[in-house]
């Protein structure tokens, strides 16, 4: 009896594992197809001046998405017309339904780092996702993200971390 259970588990794993591996390979190929175009597409970055120009021209072919993790940050100030959807819940099915596939999605975060986490996945899912270069720091005068960036740059200057050449 015990050997029959083991045989059943083996046969089941033999049929499940290849399909998992195949789906991993398919996913990797899909993500690779997006990443291979990153440099050519300027890493899907939109500059603040460019976004501001679209807003002034009242273009309707884009949606700005604030992906910072805190509603408190959004309420303290955000890009006009932006919706709030934290990056860490963006790929949930109920949230993807809120994102139009027929418009450019302009994602932004504090300094331009976490907005990059969902952009490749969104592009692989068929969204025209882009990011605001340097995030909200490039948009809002005196925003705290700039201070974070200055601190990081100052730390690197003081520490003089090793660089290989």
In the prediction, which pLDDT does 30 show? 86
> Is residue 133 within 8 Å of 47, Cβ to Cβ?
yes
The pLDDT assigned to 11 comes to 42
Kindly report the CA angle at 35 between 34 and 41, in degrees rounded to 5? 85
What's the pLDDT at 5? 41
What totals of helices (H) and strands (E) does the chain contain, helices first? 6, 5
Distance CA(123)–CA(126), nearest Å, equals 5
**Closest listed residue to residue 63, CA positions, set 130, 5, 142, 116:** 130
As averages over each run of 10 residues, the pLDDT of the chain (165 residues) reads 41 46 81 81 89 97 97 96 97 97 96 92 95 92 77 81 85
pLDDT score at 3: 44
pLDDT of 129: 97
Q: Identify the pLDDT of residue 21.
A: 59
Provide the whole-model pTM. 0.78
Domain ranges of the chain: 42-145
Fold classification of 42-145 (topology level): Oxidized Rhodanese; domain 1 (3.40.250)
């Amino acid at each position: 009896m015990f050997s029959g259970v083991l045989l059943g588990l083996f046969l089941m794993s033999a049929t499940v594992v290849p399909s998992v591996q195949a789906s991993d390979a398919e996913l990797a190929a899909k993500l690779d197809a997006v990443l291979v175009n990153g440099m050519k597409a300027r890493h899907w970055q939109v500059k603040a001046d460019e976004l501001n120009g679209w807003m002034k021209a009242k273009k309707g072919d884009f949606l700005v998405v604030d992906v910072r993790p805190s509603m408190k940050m959004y309420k303290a100030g955000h890009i006009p017309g932006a919706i709030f959807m934290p990056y860490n819940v963006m790929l949930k099915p109920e949230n993807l339904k809120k994102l139009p596939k027929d418009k450019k999605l302009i994602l932004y975060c504090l300094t331009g780092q976490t907005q990059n986490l969902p952009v490749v996945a969104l592009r692989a899912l068929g969204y025209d996702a882009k990011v605001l270069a340097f995030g909200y720091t490039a948009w809002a005068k005196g925003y705290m993200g700039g201070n974070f960036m200055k601190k990081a740059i100052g730390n690197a200057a003081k520490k003089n971390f090793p660089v290989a050449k």
